[in-house]
C-alpha cells in the first residue's frame, strides 16, 4: 500500500466544551421551555419568531414559489423513495404460530412508533432532499405523528421555502422553525408549543450530533452523524474525471468531509488528483470543497483488490463506490452505509432520487448499523401464549433455572402456576 495523497488526521476539536455547552442548552429547554427555545432561535439564527409552528398559509406561500419543474422533481424523487421504503417494509413480515413445544405459540409483531421528529439541517445549503429521506420512510412505516423541524434562514424567521415545500410534500404533520441543539432538546423533552416524540432522526452539525447523544435514552435516535464521506475502489477502467467529480461532490458539503480513492492503478490515482484540481478551478463551491479535499482527501495505491477490500472494511465509509472490471470482491465488502456499483451508478443519484436513503452512518458507524430506513421507525416486538400442557413443561425448567440464579421470586412465579392452575 502506498499513499499518493494522504489525509491529515481529523482534529479532535473541543469535544468537552461542546458537550458542556449542549448540556446547558438542553437543561435550559427542560427548565424554561419555549422561552429558552425562542431565545436560542434569536441568538443563533437571528429569528424573531415566537410562534414556532409553521402555518398552512406559510406552507402554501413556499409551494407557490416553487417552479413547476421543481415540484415535479420533488414528486418524482418522493415516489422513488416511497416505493423503496414500502418494498423494504414488505420484507418485515409478522410471525405467528411458531411453536417450541406443543401448546406454546410464539410470534412477533411489527409496530410503528407513535411519533418521530425529523431534523432537516440548514447551514450552507437548503437540504430539502433530506426532508424527503426522513419523512417519507416514517410515513411508509405508519408513524401516526411526524414532526419536522429546520432552522430559519439566517436573519429571517422562515425555513427555506424549498425545504418547507419538501416537508409538506413528504407528509409531515407538524413543521417547526427551530434548529440546532435546542431543536433536538425540544423534540426530546417537549415544550409548550412542541410535544415530545419517541424517535429523532436526521443529520446536523456537531452540536446537533452531541444533543442527540445526550438525549438518547429519553428518545430513540438513528445514529450519531459526522461529516460526509465517500470511498471509491476503482481500477484502470474507471474515468478519472468521474471519480474526481464524486470526490468533490462530498467535499463541497463541509470542510471536514472526506473523499477517498483506493486503486490498483497508479496512473488512475495520479489522473484523479490532476482532474480534481482542474474541476476545483471551475467549481462555485470551491472554497469549501478545496478546504476539504486538500486537507482530508486521500488517494491510496493498493497492492491488490483484496487489500482494497480490507481497507474499505476498516474505514467503513458512509458511501462506497465500486468501479471495477472484476467485481469478485463485492461479497467481501461488508462495512458501508450505501453501496454504488459501476461507473454509471453515481453516488449523487442516491443523494437525491434513486430511492435509497441518503441519511447514512459516518465515522465508521457502518461497522454496526445501516442508514435510516423504514425499519428505523418500526419495533419488532415478540409475544407468546401457553396452554396448560406447555405451561406444565416449561414451568419446572424455568423454576430450576431461576433457583440456579438465586432468584427465588422468579422461581416461585413459575411454581405457583403448577400448584394453582
Positions annotated as catalytic residues are 318-319
Cell reading at 285: 463551491
Buried b (16+ CB within 10 A) or exposed e, 50-83: eebebeeebbeebbeebeeeeeeebeebbebbbe
In 78-189, beta strands by DSSP E: 95-98, 104-112, 115-119, 145-150, 174-177
Please report, for the chain, how many H helices and E strands are present, in that order.
15, 14
Distance CA 326, CA 346 (A): 19
The helix or strand, by DSSP H or E, that contains position 370, with its residue range, turns out to be none
Distance CA 122, CA 409 (A): 54
The helix or strand, by DSSP H or E, that contains position 83, with its residue range, turns out to be helix 68-90
Buried b (16+ CB within 10 A) or exposed e, 270-296: bbbbebbeebbeebebbebbbbbbbbb
Distance CA 26, CA 40 (A): 11
Total residue count of the chain as it appears in this document: 421
Distance CA 215, CA 194 (A): 16
Q: Which of 326, 329, 328, 325 is nearest to 309 (CA)?
A: 329
Q: Please give the span between the terminal C-alpha atoms of the chain, in angstroms, as a whole number.
A: 70
Cell reading at 4: 499518493
The helix or strand, by DSSP H or E, that contains position 124, with its residue range, turns out to be none
| Degrees to nearest 5, angle at CA 120 with 114 and 124 | 175
Residue 231's DSSP bridge partners are 260, 320
> What backbone phi and psi angles, to 5 degrees, belong to 76?
-65, -45
Q: At what angle do helices 56-65 and 161-170 cross, to 10 degrees?
A: 110
* Residue pair 6/296 in contact by the 8 Å Cβ criterion: no
Amino acid at each position: 500500500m502506498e499513499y499518493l495523497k494522504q489525509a491529515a488526521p481529523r482534529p479532535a476539536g473541543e469535544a468537552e466544551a461542546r458537550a458542556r455547552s449542549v448540556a446547558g442548552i438542553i437543561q435550559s429547554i427542560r427548565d424554561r421551555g419555549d422561552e429558552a427555545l425562542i431565545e436560542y432561535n434569536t441568538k443563533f439564527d437571528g429569528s424573531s419568531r415566537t410562534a414556532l409552528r409553521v402555518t398552512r398559509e406559510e406552507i402554501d406561500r413556499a409551494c407557490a414559489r416553487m417552479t413547476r419543474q421543481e415540484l415535479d422533481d420533488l414528486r418524482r424523487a418522493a415516489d422513488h423513495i416511497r416505493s423503496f421504503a414500502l418494498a423494504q417494509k414488505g420484507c418485515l413480515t409478522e410471525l405467528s404460530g411458531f411453536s417450541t413445544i406443543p401448546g406454546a405459540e410464539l410470534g412477533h409483531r411489527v409496530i410503528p412508533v407513535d411519533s418521530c421528529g425529523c431534523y432537516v439541517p440548514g447551514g450552507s445549503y437548503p437540504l430539502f432532499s433530506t426532508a424527503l429521506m426522513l419523512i417519507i420512510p416514517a410515513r411508509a412505516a405508519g408513524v401516526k405523528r411526524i414532526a419536522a423541524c429546520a432552522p430559519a434562514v439566517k436573519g429571517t424567521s422562515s425555513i427555506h421555502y424549498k425545504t418547507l415545500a419538501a416537508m409538506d410534500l413528504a407528509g409531515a404533520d407538524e413543521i417547526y422553525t427551530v434548529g440546532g441543539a435546542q431543536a433536538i432538546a425540544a423534540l426530546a423533552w417537549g415544550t409548550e408549543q412542541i410535544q415530545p416524540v419517541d424517535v429523532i432522526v436526521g443529520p446536523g452539525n456537531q452540536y446537533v450530533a452531541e444533543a442527540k447523544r445526550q438525549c438518547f435514552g429519553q428518545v430513540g435516535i438513528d445514529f450519531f452523524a459526522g461529516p460526509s464521506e465517500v470511498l471509491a475502489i476503482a481500477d484502470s477502467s474507471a474515468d478519472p474525471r468521474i471519480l474526481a467529480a464524486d470526490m468533490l461532490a462530498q467535499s463541497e458539503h463541509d470542510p471536514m468531509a472526506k473523499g477517498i480513492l483506493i486503486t490498483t492503478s497508479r496512473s488512475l490515482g495520479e489522473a484523479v488528483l490532476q482532474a480534481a484540481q482542474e474541476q476545483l478551478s471551475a467549481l462555485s463551491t470551491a472554497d469549501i470543497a478545496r478546504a476539504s479535499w486538500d486537507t482530508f482527501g486521500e488517494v491510496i495505491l493498493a497492492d491488490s483488490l483484496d487489500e482494497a477490500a480490507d481497507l474499505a472494511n476498516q474505514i467503513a465509509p458512509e458511501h462506497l463506490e465500486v468501479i471495477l472490471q472484476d467485481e469478485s470482491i463485492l461479497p467481501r465488502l461488508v462495512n458501508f452505509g450505501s453501496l454504488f456499483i459501476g461507473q454509471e451508478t453515481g453516488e449523487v443519484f442516491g443523494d437525491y432520487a434513486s430511492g435509497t436513503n441518503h441519511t447514512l452512518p459516518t465515522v465508521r458507524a457502518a461497522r454496526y448499523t445501516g442508514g435510516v430506513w423504514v425499519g428505523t421507525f418500526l419495533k419488532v416486538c415478540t409475544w407468546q401464549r401457553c396452554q396448560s400442557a406447555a405451561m406444565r413443561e416449561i414451568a419446572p425448567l424455568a423454576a430450576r433455572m431461576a433457583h440456579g440464579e438465586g432468584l427465588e421470586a422468579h422461581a416461585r412465579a413459575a411454581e405457583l402456576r403448577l400448584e394453582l392452575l
